[in-house]
Amino acid sequence: MRVSGLTVRHRRTTALDGVDLDFGLGVHGLLGPNGAGKTSLVRVLATVAEPTAGRVELLGNDLRGHRERGAVRRELGYLPQDFGYYPGFTVREFVAYVAWLKELPGAGTDAAVERAVARVGLADRIDAKVKTLSGGMIRRVGIAQAIVNDPRLLLLDEPTAGLDPEQRVEFRALLRELGRTATVIVSTHLVEDVAAACTEVTLLEAGQVAYRGTPGSLAALGADGHESDGNAVERGYITALRGHRTATGAGR
């Protein structure tokens, strides 16, 4: 998948400014401060927002066509920061509803739902109403609905919000598993999640690509930096961000 010259404007604010990126199989982390453009990029890739300018190609489809957008939606999974759900539904009913929206074959829906729910560790709560679950459990329901169709493209915006440390470790393992056969893009503020699960890192700043590389190369950048706090990847994040700001004159 590829975006070329991607620009997104919200009234007078430019969220993305001529971004060029491509993503292959694996787990790709999107990092950046608040307002960097991460959510705007994910929303465009999820086909829920249209770019102001530029070209988007997903799974061999140019998103300028209505039919192409429909084809992509059946093949992707998406978890926004705040996802809507029906609190009166059980977990099974809600994930099955999303499977129906994705046009999964009816004969395989039950098994797909049970597998998705089990993968996020909620098999014992599959028939509980969503409104009875904790915030972390609801977040895991969101992940389950995103993966129920075994998507070729999986987009996750702050997926570990509300998860406890043990659940985050389990989620990272799930990400690595999913990344073997799909393109997974994870937008997060948690640098440690990127370091543990991602094969590639993209750092956005003020709507531009400030850095791109592997978690290892970002850690190496941190090892060469002057920051003393945090781990090497966190120091690399700060070093890359400051380097981009210096190069572009941002903040002057």
> Does residue 225 fall inside a structural domain?
no
Q: Average pLDDT in the 202-213 region?
A: 96
37-82: pLDDT as tens digits? 999 999 999 999 999 999 999 998 888 777 888 889 889 999 998 8
Residue 191 lies in a domain: no
Domain count, the chain: 1
Cα 76 to Cα 82: distance, rounded to the nearest angstrom: 18
Establish if 133 belongs to a structural domain: yes
Asked whether residue 99 is domain-assigned, the answer is yes
Q: Decide: pTM greater than 0.85.
A: yes
The overall average pLDDT reported for the chain is 91
Calpha distance 239→242 (Å, rounded): 5
Please indicate, yes or no, if residue 121 is contained in any of the structural domains.
Answer: yes
Range of the domain at 126: 82-150
Residue 111 in any domain: the answer is: yes
Helices (H), the chain: 38-45, 66-75, 91-101, 106-119, 135-147, 165-178, 191-197, 215-223, 232-248
Question: To the nearest whole percent, how much of the chain has pLDDT over 70?
Answer: 96
Determine the Cα–Cα distance for residues 78 and 179; give it in Å rounded to an integer. 15
Give the model's pLDDT for residue 252.
Answer: 47
Is the residue at 104 inside a domain? yes
